[in-house]
Every structure is written in structure tokens, then in C-alpha cells.
Amino acid sequence: MLRTSVGFATIGIGTSFCGAGLVLLLLFLLDIPAEVGDDRWILLVCAGGYVLLAFVIGTAWTVFLQRRTVVWFLAGRRPKPAEAARALRIPVDLATVSGTLWVGGAVALGVLTAVFGSWLDAMGVVLAIVLGGLATVGMTYLASERIARPLMSLALAVASPVGGRLPATVLRRLVVTWSLSSGVPLFGVLLVVLPPDVGTGDPTLTLVSLAVIGLVVGALGTGLLARGVAAPLHQLRLALDDIARGRRDIAIDLNDASEIGMLQASVNDLASGLAEQERLRDLFGRHVGDDVARHTLEHGISLSGDVRTVTALFVDVVDSTALAANTPPEQVVRRLNGLFTDVVRAVDTHGGLVNKFQGDAALCVFGAPTTHTDAATAALRAARLIRDSTRERGELDLGIGVATGQVFAGQLGTRSRLEYTVIGDAVNEAARLTEQAKELPGRILAGHDTIDAAAGAERAYWRHHADLHLRGRDADTRAFTAVVA
């Protein structure tokens, strides 16, 4: 707050008196007004008095225009939308006030010079004051944009430059900088070399002075433009590089009311939008599985699928009804979460998909939606791992069924409510084997198609159990059970 206040005071004092000094230097070099003679002191006194009066009037006028900005900034509170919009006009208001007062000075001193001298001297005075005024207004505009950045940050948080008429533009800054570096000095050169000749001084010294002034003022203006444009653009480039590398916690401070501020807001929106997309994708993946989420994002929503050969693994808790009746609900949920943690870990390890949780049961698929090079072996290994992990916990008892066959794999439902699922005889066989497996010491049963398709090393863990007549099936199923270590 202190730095900003001192900065505005420096702008007001520095630009006004430097501009007045520039005018006096030009008048001295050109020896204007030459015909006033002994009455020059009157013009000098009037000029000095007007500079002091203009400084007081300009300060009071600026405070009046930005009185609401002063109140909320000093109070340290968040501005209202109307107050924020007014604060964004600080550079324009300062330039307008400064330019108006310089016009007033040119008119007043031009009239006095015409009264005490000649119209030619009056024209020279007016042109010199115009030169000083242009330089002062330009420096005021560029410097105030730099000094007002703390205010801009607070105001842009309320009135973000997302459209409409911008209070500042990059084009305006470029025009002002060109005026300082080229327009004002060249206008001064034309004033000196073109007729009518205003003043009686040596034009060579005047031209050299104008060149030096143009270099100094142009360097200052270009430096302010570079800091006002290049610095935020560099910040934007670094932010975009971070976003490209995967960072999403990007939040650039809005401190520019021009198109650059719109870019800053757009980059913030881009980062937050990508973060929201990743959050939704993560939630989507947690509900349907990463493979299904990736498949859906790549191929879009479609009420279609394909028929493929998969291995289904079904897990169900033994005597879940008695468990729910004799155990507090929160303990039942904790135990089920422990079981499903083991299921997800085992299935993910072996490249499968946990298709759905059904109360105290889970359906897992190997071979859909992505193909698997050895689905049967992976499913049998996952079944043994789930059984062993659950026994180590000692909280639940379960049955596991594994079956291989052709199924429909795809989206089921309507376009407003979809679910990725697998439907087919293999799924039904796995569920029926699970019912039988609950009565076996090994707690796992697998159909012969799965055993036949598995690798030889995995088949060594399995032995023939019996030919079972499963509910809903006409032919008997050769069932194999895992050897208990």
C-alpha cells in the first residue's frame, strides 16, 4: 500500500515538473519569446504559478475521480464491481487529467505570450508546451500502469477482463511508446526546421537536445512497455510449460487490464478446466475402471459392443445374510472394503477389470474391454491370490468361481444412463461355480474350459473336483478346485 501510494505521488510530481523543465529547455534553446524583453519575468512567474496550481488541481481531480478506489484500497477490503471497473481506469484517468491541464497551460501561456510579445512567439510557446505535454501524458500513462498493478490485481479479481471494451489495450501502449520515442522528438525537429522560424536560438543545439531528449524519453517509455508486456508474457509462457508437463495447480495473478489480462484469465481457466476434467476422469475411472474409462473416452458413448472370449471371475461372501444380522453395519462395510481392496489389487496385478460390485459380491473380467494375452491364467492366479489374502485377514469367508467363454462386452442401458457390462454363459457359469465353491475347503472352482486354456505351470495348482450339474444348465460342468497349500 505504501509503495503504491509513493509511486503515484512520484508520478504526479516527477512527470509534471520534468515536463515543465522540458518546455523551459526548449524555450531557452529557441530563445522564445524573443520580443517580450523585460516582461519575461511575468511569463516565468505565471508559468511557475500555473505548474503549482496544475499540480494541486490535478491531485484533487484525480482523487475525486478515484475516491472510491482510495477508500477500498486503504480499507483493505474487496472492491465492488463498479469500484473495480473504476479502478481499472486509473491510467486513463491520470492521462486525461494530465493532458487537460497541459492543454489549459498551453492556452493560458499562449495568450499571455501573444499579449506581451507576438503571435509567432505565442505559437512557439504553444508548440513547446504541446511537446512537453505529449511527453508527460505518455510517461504518466505507461508509468501509472506499472505502479497500479497491486490495485489492478485486486480489481481484476472482481471485474475480470473477459470481453467488452477493455480499459487498456496493447495497441494503445504501443502508440504511446511510439509517440514518446519517435513522435514527440520528430515533431520538435519539424518545429525547428520548418518555416516560419520560431525563436532566434541556434537550431543545431536545439536539434541535438531534441535527439538526446528523444533517446532518454524513448528509452524510459520502451522500458516501461517491455516490463508491462514482456514480463507477463514470460510468466504466461512458464505457466503454459508447467501445464504441458502436467501441473494443474496454476493460478496466475491478474494484474493487467488489457488483452494480456484476458490471456492470464484464459490460462487460469485452462488450468482449472483441465484439473476438473482430470478429477472427473479419476472419479469416472474409480466407478467403472480405468480401462473402461479410457475405452469410453477414446470411442465415445455407444449402445454397442462386441462378442469376445473372456474369463469371468466371480467372488461372493459366505453366509452374508447371517453376517449382516449379527454384525454392526459399519463393521460389515469395513470388512467388505477390506475384501474388495484385496480383489482390486489382485485383479489389477494380473491385468483384469473389476466390472462391478454387487453388494457383498464382485464380478471381474479378464479380456475385456482390452484384450489379454492369457486371460485364463491371469484369472486363476488372481483367484488364488484373493483367497489367500482373505484368509490372512480372517474377517470373511468367501467362494470364488472362474469360467471362460464367449460373452457380449459393451455398454448397456440408455444414452442417459449407461453401464459397461459383460453378458454371457461364462458369467452365469462363474456365478454358479461360486455357489458350489462355498462348500469346498479350497473355496475356488473353475470350469474345464478355463483350465484347458491356462498355462501348464498354472494348471499344476489345480485338480479335478467333480462333474457338477449347475443350476440353469443342461449339461454337467467339469469343475476343478485349487490345491490348498
Q: For the chain, what are the domain ranges?
A: 2-244, 300-482
Backbone conformation region of residue 289, classed left if phi is above 0, alpha if psi is from -120 to 50, else beta: left
- Maximum CA pair distance of the chain? 130
Radius of gyration (Cα) for the chain, nearest Å?
41
Model confidence pLDDT, tens digit, residues 257-300: 777 877 888 888 888 888 877 776 665 555 555 555 565 555 55
Examine the pLDDT at 34 and tell me if it is beyond 70.
Answer: no
User: Which pLDDT score is estimated for 474?
Assistant: 79
pLDDT, greater one: 482 or 160: 482
pLDDT, greater one: 337 or 126: 337
| Cα 14 from Cα 106, distance rounded (Å) | 19
User: Which pLDDT score is estimated for 291?
Assistant: 58
| Confidence band, pLDDT 50/70/90 cuts, at residue 325 | confident
User: Which pLDDT score is estimated for 251?
Assistant: 82
User: Which pLDDT score is estimated for 299?
Assistant: 55
User: Which pLDDT score is estimated for 481?
Assistant: 94
Decide if 258 contacts 173 (C-beta within 8 A).
yes
User: Which pLDDT score is estimated for 127?
Assistant: 79
Model confidence pLDDT, tens digit, residues 420-432: 788 999 999 999 9
Write out the three cell numbers for 391.
Answer: 484368509
Examine the pLDDT at 357 and tell me if it is beyond 80.
Answer: yes
Examine the pLDDT at 337 and tell me if it is beyond 60.
Answer: yes
Model confidence pLDDT, tens digit, residues 148-171: 777 777 787 777 655 556 667 777
Question: What long-range pairs does 208-211 form, CB within 8 A, spacing at least 24?
Answer: 209/25, 209/26, 209/29, 210/26, 210/185, 211/185
What average pLDDT does range 433-461 have in this prediction? 93
Write out the three cell numbers for 270.
Answer: 485452462
Examine the pLDDT at 214 and tell me if it is beyond 90.
Answer: no
Q: What is the 8-class DSSP label of residue 303?
A: S
Examine the pLDDT at 134 and tell me if it is beyond 60.
Answer: yes
Distances (CA, A) of 66 to 57, 88, 173: 14, 10, 22
What average pLDDT does range 297-313 have in this prediction? 73
- Give strand pairing partners of 418: 413
| Confidence band, pLDDT 50/70/90 cuts, at residue 138 | confident
User: Which pLDDT score is estimated for 409?
Assistant: 86
Q: What is the 8-class DSSP label of residue 445?
A: E
Counting residues of the chain whose pLDDT is more than 90, the rounded percentage is 22
| Confidence band, pLDDT 50/70/90 cuts, at residue 478 | very high
| Cα 255 from Cα 241, distance rounded (Å) | 20
- Kindly give the pairing relationship between strand 361-366 and strand 353-358: antiparallel
Backbone conformation region of residue 61, classed left if phi is above 0, alpha if psi is from -120 to 50, else beta: alpha
| Confidence band, pLDDT 50/70/90 cuts, at residue 186 | confident
What average pLDDT does range 239-260 have in this prediction? 82
- Kindly give the pairing relationship between strand 398-414 and strand 444-447: parallel
| Confidence band, pLDDT 50/70/90 cuts, at residue 450 | very high
- Tell me the pTM: 0.54
User: Which pLDDT score is estimated for 191?
Assistant: 67
User: Which pLDDT score is estimated for 165?
Assistant: 65
Decide if 164 contacts 46 (C-beta within 8 A).
no
Name, in order, each residue with C-beta under 8 angstroms of 412's C-beta and a sequence gap of 6 or more. 303, 305, 418, 419, 420, 421, 423
Q: What is the dotted CATH code of the domain comprising 300-482?
A: 3.30.70.1230
Examine the pLDDT at 136 and tell me if it is beyond 60.
Answer: yes
- Sign of torsion over alpha carbons 230, 232, 238, 244: negative
Backbone conformation region of residue 394, classed left if phi is above 0, alpha if psi is from -120 to 50, else beta: left
- 215, amino acid identity: L
Q: What is the dihedral of CA 19, 24, 27, 31, to 10 degrees?
A: -170
Q: Which of 318, 307, 330 is nearest to 407 (CA)?
A: 307
| Confidence band, pLDDT 50/70/90 cuts, at residue 459 | very high
Question: What long-range pairs does 382-386 form, CB within 8 A, spacing at least 24?
Answer: 382/313, 382/346, 382/347, 382/349, 382/350, 382/352, 383/313, 383/444, 383/446, 383/482, 384/444, 384/461, 384/482, 385/342, 385/346, 385/349, 385/350, 386/315, 386/342, 386/343, 386/346
User: Which pLDDT score is estimated for 164?
Assistant: 55
User: Which pLDDT score is estimated for 347?
Assistant: 92
Counting residues of the chain whose pLDDT is more than 70, the rounded percentage is 83
Examine the pLDDT at 143 and tell me if it is beyond 90.
Answer: no
Write out the three cell numbers for 459.
Answer: 494348471
Q: Which of 216, 173, 198 is nearest to 18 (CA)?
A: 216
Half-sphere exposure of 38 (CA within 13 A, CB side): 0
Which H helix or E strand runs over 90? helix 90-116
Q: Report the Cα 178 to chain-centroid distance in Å.
A: 33
| Cα 99 from Cα 60, distance rounded (Å) | 15
Average pLDDT, the chain: 80
Decide if 218 contacts 180 (C-beta within 8 A).
yes
Q: Which of 279, 276, 289, 282 is nearest to 419 (CA)?
A: 289
Decide if 411 contacts 420 (C-beta within 8 A).
yes
Q: Which of 88, 313, 128, 102 is nearest to 209 (CA)?
A: 128
- Give strand pairing partners of 413: 418
Q: Which of 11-20, 258-267, 362-371 has the highest mean pLDDT?
A: 362-371
Decide if 443 contacts 399 (C-beta within 8 A).
yes
Decide if 427 contacts 407 (C-beta within 8 A).
yes
| Cα 465 from Cα 208, distance rounded (Å) | 108
